[in-house]
Amino acid sequence: MSAPAAYRVGLIAADGTRVEFDAAPAQSLVKAAARAGYRITSGCLQGRCAICRAQLVSGTVLPLRRASPNAVSAALNKVDGLVLLCSVTAASDVEVAPLSAWRVAPT
Judged against a pLDDT cut of 60, whether residue 105 lies above it is answered with yes
> If you average pLDDT over each of 4-8, 28-32, 82-86, 98-102, which comes out highest?
28-32
Question: Which tens digit of pLDDT belongs to each residue from 16-25?
Answer: 889 999 999 9
Q: What share of the chain is helix, strand, coil (3-state, %, to 5)?
A: 5, 35, 55
Please tell me the predicted confidence (pLDDT) of residue 28.
Answer: 95
| pLDDT interval class at 2 (50, 70, 90) | low
Please tell me the predicted confidence (pLDDT) of residue 45.
Answer: 87
Cβ contact 22:36 at 8 Å: yes
Please tell me the predicted confidence (pLDDT) of residue 98.
Answer: 94
Judged against a pLDDT cut of 60, whether residue 84 lies above it is answered with yes
31 phi, psi to nearest 5 deg: -70, -40
Question: Which tens digit of pLDDT belongs to each residue from 59-82?
Answer: 999 998 776 665 555 666 666 888
Question: Taking the domains of the chain in order of start, what are their residue ranges?
Answer: 7-104
Cβ contact 59:95 at 8 Å: yes
Please tell me the predicted confidence (pLDDT) of residue 11.
Answer: 95
| CATH superfamily placement of domain 7-104 | Beta-grasp domain (3.10.20.30)
